[in-house]
A = this chain, B = another copy of it.
């Protein structure tokens, strides 16, 4: 059972951006270097996070991005809902594959798994980015974040 790399990167980008002082900008090369991950992937992640309103972008030389809202207003569960392509933990939960399993009309398993997925997300809803940033000083030291 796993989340997508996209989700993983999105959460790490938000942690990085959030660990900076209020108005300080982050850049993709900076994050790619710190986490040792691909710039190309990060471009897509940052684009998504901007589009859905978590990051505000400043273009041009000296540009970059910062959190577009207070970290306490960004729920981890909502970030995950926006980055995961689906929560069909088994294929038959995908509406496009409806009717492919003969027991579907009498299947209790799907209900159980839907309930379990909801429980997973409910826990992540209890965490905001602010919670993830609580060890801010340690994060800043570990990431060599410049303010």
Contact = CB atoms under 8 A, between A and B. Distances in A.
Interface of A: 1-5, 7-8, 11-12, 15, 34-36, 76, 84, 86-91, 100-103, 105-109, 112-113, 115-117, 119-124, 126-127, 131-135, 138-139, 142-143
Contacts of A102: 34-36, 142-143
Given A89-B2, A120-B116, A121-B116, A11 B109 contact: yes
Q: SS class of chain A's interface: helix, strand, loop or mixed?
A: helix
B124 A122 contact: no
A69 to B, nearest CB: 19
B100 A127 contact: no
27 contacts: A1-B1, A1-B2, A1-B87, A2-B88, A8-B90, A8-B91, A11-B90, A11-B109, A12-B103, A15-B103, A35-B101, A36-B100, A76-B109, A102-B142, A103-B139, A105-B138, A105-B142, A106-B135, A107-B132, A108-B127, A108-B134, A109-B127, A109-B132, A112-B126, A113-B124, A115-B123, A117-B120
